[in-house]
Structure 1
Amino acid sequence: MNFMIVSAVLENQPLSVDDELAVFSGTKCVGAAKLTKAINPADKTTFLSLSASQDDGSGNGFTENDTVIFKIWDNKNLKEVVAKSVVYRKDISTWLTTGRFSASATSVVEITHNTELTQTIQFIKGNNLFSTYIIPTNPDLSVVFKSLCDSKLLLKIQDEVGNTLAPTKTGGWVNNIGSIKKTEGYLVSVSSNCSVQINGQMIDLPLDIPLNAGWNFISFPSLTEQNAMTVVQSLIDQNKLVKVQDELGNSIENLKRYGGWKNGIGNFKPGKAYKVNVSSACSLTLR
């Protein structure tokens, strides 16, 4: 059986030279090919051809109608992963799209693998400034916070312009915010200490966050804490920063003749969001 690989992506990046794609029938590798150049979906000359051998009775190949499994060898990180997403192209009627082995058939495929992560975010009773380093599998805010809505622990979520996810008098919820945006922070109000789990893919850094004049709720999509002053230093250098605040009211601000810029926040922390006041529209790059 013949496979033509027209796209291959690992952790949001195209596979590189010396990475390898293999096809399995059960636990048996029945075909493999190493990349000698990166696959460019717009350039047919870069597509990777991979042939799978059929079992001739000695256990040396695929079993007819068995499920096709693709694995990726990441040469840079020296690890093997099973491809999570395989799209079978159907541009031509003779291309097989069943995802099963068939002698002499041809399948044209796009392969993707992105690791799914889970982030658990703790909330304290009252108001919390929230963001995440994950792009949720379903980014709808009412879906992400469904467990807190159902348990009546969530009181309200608000974005920087006043849109809300809030309960109705009849017991339902109205979501006027929509989906979580990777650059945004949100004000989350809860009735008691609780937590929410978010599943999805890691947000890629660096990330440019557009800022409007005045107050903005910004995300902090980092896996680790970072010195808050260092994060916003570029805004200070541009003479754009007015003030930064965390959910407790701690701030970064210019005390001028009483000591200049002072960091009362300490570190920005994963799971938290921050209020940033700037004098005019600009951008903050998070790394």
Structure 2
Amino acid sequence: MSLRRRRQLVPWLLIGPGLLWLVVFFAVPLANQLYVSLQTGDPETGYQFTWAFGTYVDAIKDYHEQFLRSIGYAATATVLCLIIGFPLAYYAAFKAKPFMRNLILLLVILPFFVSSVLRTVSWQLILFDDGWIVARFRDVGLLGDDGRLLATRTAVIAGITYNFLPFMILPLFVSLERIDRRLVEAATDLYASRAQAFRHVTLPLALPGIFAGSLLTFIPACGDFINAALLGTPKQSMIGNVIQSKFLFVQDYPTAAALSFILMTFILIGVALYGRLLGTKTLMESAV
């Protein structure tokens, strides 16, 4: 084999294992679920492939509330994660000493050492009707005597925000840490205030981290079902709860697969619009 030929094969040898992994564990299951979504039948008589595109129409018509609720909860949690995570990431990147920076990052990733189910169950204890948090809310008048936080929309959004907060903080920290401090100093030397330097220098350069953190938070939050199941009621059920029920209990596999593809399509469209809004090309150039 010639040297030129070997050089042409090297890239394929390097990406081969990863590409094979994606084909076997992503592309093949995805194609299988697309095939399942176009079937009709029931668990007793079995399912047959019939090009049943009507399943998608029925899925949207029957579960549009859960779709909208999932998107609303995920978007709210993403905004809250950004509001909470940006100051923390900013402090860790710009102000904290090395020891404190490492400690902050350790505390951010520490929850990942515990199961997400256990972390969510802990919120049941925090928001318990007779707990300290609810008692203080009642003391200041934010809740009535019979008011509660558990089994409400607030509890579900709080659980989602907590569970996905690290996915926002870490990309923000990486993006902020890469900013050249001399650019901020140059802005202040040119008579810009700290607020103006932040708005015109720091924030634009942090956009790649905001973009990545938003995606890493919003996308899995849309399909989340644990928080709604443990912290909410059927009134707060998300589309992930419906898909789980269809797959595991009702065994309506075509509808479950159709719901999954609809959710994936909505997310892809949303990501494309979000990337266009922020300027994907600019973000990619800033990240390099």
TM-score for both structures, normalised by structure 2:
0.21
Larger relative contact order (CA 8 Å, sep ≥ 6): 2
TM-score for both structures, normalised by structure 1:
0.21
Which of 1 and 2 has greater Rg?
Answer: 1
Structure holding more helix per residue: 2
Structure holding more strand per residue: 1
